[in-house]
Amino acid sequence: MQHSVRENLLRLKGTIPQAVTLVAVSKTHPPDRILDAYHAGQRVFGENRVQELISKQPILPADIEWHLIGHLQTNKVKYIAPFVSMIHSVDSFKLLAEINKEAKKANRMIPCLLQMHIAKEDSKFGFSEEEVLAELEKNNLSAFSNVIISGVMGMATFSDDEDLVRSEFRYLKSLFETIKRRFFAGSDTFREISMGMSGDYAVAIEEGSTMVRIGSLVFGSR
Ligand SMILES: *Cc1c(COP(=O)(O)O)cnc(C)c1O
């Protein structure tokens, strides 16, 4: 039986600790379904494509916090910089520099997460541990005046093997701790671990997630 978005959302919220942010992933779902979630109290929504995000944002309530969670090309940053609340999918410092430039133009600070490659599949985007540490080392972080490097994001292998998924989330948490200790010690802005989707969010929360990105369990299957 199909449940309403409101019912789905309320049931889901009962399983997520207050301290963990729920990003309701609304990709492919029409604005009226997003409004159902909005009227049930949800304010943070995630989209994975720029085109879809910029078509929805102007026709939905202005107090929605839009998170971009999918791959972002540098030439599209300008379209979302004026309003986006967080970008989860920063996978190069070239992209981070572009976000910084467009944020400055828009007179904004944009929170960004470093997307890490943690899954076995090689199709997913993201930094390796070596790459991210090397980039953080060689870039002058204080030059990024209009982005807030707020944490890390990762996607586990799409698998029923809970031990595998758990080990990948645990690895992301350890990467977060390493980066924080080496580059953001004493700052409280580096604090988010965005991990967990409909199929694996409970494991992600057990392993220290601070943000879960959930689509199907809220809006139904795509
Ligand atoms: C689609 C998507 C999600 C949500 O997936 P569900 O399985 O529907 O919960 C989370 N993160 C990213 C990056 C996505 O593209």
> Could you report the per-residue pLDDT of 32-76, keeping only the tens digit for each?
999 999 999 999 999 999 999 999 999 999 999 999 999 999 999
pLDDT at 222 over 90: no
162-191 pLDDT, tens digit each: 999 999 999 999 999 999 999 999 889 999
**Nearest C-alpha to atom 12 of ligand 1 is from which residue?**
69
Is residue 221 very low, low, confident or very high in pLDDT (cuts 50, 70, 90)? confident
The pLDDT, as a whole number, for residue 114 is 98
Mutate to test the pocket of ligand 1, among 91, 158, 197 (most ligand atoms within 8 A of CB): 197
- 69, 165, 217: which to mutate for ligand 1, most atoms within 8 A of CB? 69
For ligand 1, atom 11, which residue shows the shortest CA distance? Answer: 213
99-136 confidence digits (pLDDT tens): 999 999 999 999 999 999 999 877 668 999 999 999 99
Question: Given a cut of 90, is residue 150 above it in pLDDT?
Answer: yes
Query: Which atom, in ligand 1's list, is nearest to the CA of 89?
Result: 13
> What pairing do the DSSP bridges indicate for beta strands 65-68 and 86-90?
parallel
CB atoms within 10 A of CB 32: 9
1 pLDDT above the threshold of 60:
no
Q: What phi and psi, each to the nearest 5 degrees, are found at residue 212?
A: -110, 140
Ligand 1 cavity residues, CB under 6 Å: 25, 27, 48, 69-70, 155, 197-199, 213-216
- pLDDT, position 151: 98
Query: How confident is the model over 202-207, as a mean pLDDT?
Result: 98
pLDDT of residue 120: 83
Residue 30: what pLDDT?
A: 96
Backbone angles phi, psi at 118, to 5 degrees: -120, -10
Average pLDDT of the chain is 96
Q: Read off the pLDDT of residues 34-43 as tens digits, 9 standing for 90 and up.
A: 999 999 999 9
The best mutation among 48, 67, 159, 203 to test binding of ligand 1, ranked by most ligand atoms within 8 Å of the C-beta, falls on 48
* Nearest atom of ligand 1 to the alpha carbon of 88: 13
Distance 24 CA to ligand 1 centre (A): 9
pTM: predicted TM-score of the whole model, two decimal places:
0.97
Which atom of ligand 1 sits closest to the CA of residue 70? Answer: 13
